Amino acid sequence: MPGIEIARAVYDGFAGTLEQRVADFAVALEAHRTSVGLPAPVEAPLVEAIARAGGMDEVTIVDPPAPPTPPDPSPAAPPLIPKLVVVERVGIAGKLRDARAALKIGRPDAELSDAELLLRERWEAASTIAQDDVQVRGFLAALGLDPDAILAA
């Protein structure tokens, strides 16, 4: 495995001259071994390190990491249906009175369980209904209605 890793940007910074500079420096080092009284050749620190490590065969050029993949967008929220549309569809199906009776609309709060009161309050407060609202889908099914048809966009 090559012993020196250099970033692609550093390699590119030598503008295509790194290999030749390393080779030339290696030759100069070899010639200096037999010289007497001459100063040692000098090169850029990276060139010297590569030459002393054995040349370009010991180099791995490392590309920058790929930019992170953006996360998948969150799934789209289910469409919201205006409650008025739902009420009209329940009425057209002939189940409006059954729906109001099941919701106990008009009955005093004290006569309702907490769950019944919560269901009624949610129904009365809502202006839109999500197509995947589990409670509403169960309520419509309990009325004998097809939740997919009533909550269709």
Number of residues that make up the chain: 153
Q: In this structure, is residue 22 part of a structural domain?
A: yes
**Beta-carbon count within 10 A of 102 CB:** 16
Domain containing 56 equals 4-62
- What are the structure tokens assigned to 65, written together? 């990491």
**pLDDT greater than 70 at residue 141:** yes
In a domain, residue 18? The reply is yes
70-74, 78-82, 131-135: segment of lowest average pLDDT: 70-74
**87 shares its domain with 143:** yes
User: Is 105 domain-assigned?
Assistant: yes
Strand, coil or helix: 104: coil
Task: Count up the domains in the chain and report the number.
Answer: 2
pLDDT for the residue numbered 15: 92
Q: Is residue 103 within 8 Å of 120, Cβ to Cβ?
A: yes
Give the pTM. Answer: 0.51
Confidence of residue 143 (pLDDT cuts 50, 70, 90): very high
CB-based contact 26:4 (threshold 8 Å): no
Q: What is the pLDDT of residues 86-105, one digit of tens each?
A: 999 999 999 999 999 989 98
List, for residues 6-54, the tens digit of each pLDDT value: 999 999 999 999 999 999 999 999 999 888 888 989 999 999 999 999 8
Which contiguous run of DSSP H or E holds residue 50? helix 45-53
Are 99 and 38 in a shared domain? Answer: no
In a domain, 101, yes or no: yes
Provide the token pair at 1: 């495995």
Tokens read off for 93:
């199906």
Distance between first and last Cα of the chain = 61
Whether 139 and 96 map to the same domain: the answer is yes
| 86 and 57 inside one domain | no
Look at residue 76 in the predicted model and tell me its pLDDT: 82
Torsion region of 82: left, alpha or beta (phi above 0 gives left; psi -120 to 50 gives alpha): beta
pLDDT of residue 2: 55
| Tally: H helices and E strands in the chain | 8, 4
Residues 84, 56 within the same domain: no
pLDDT of residue 90: 95
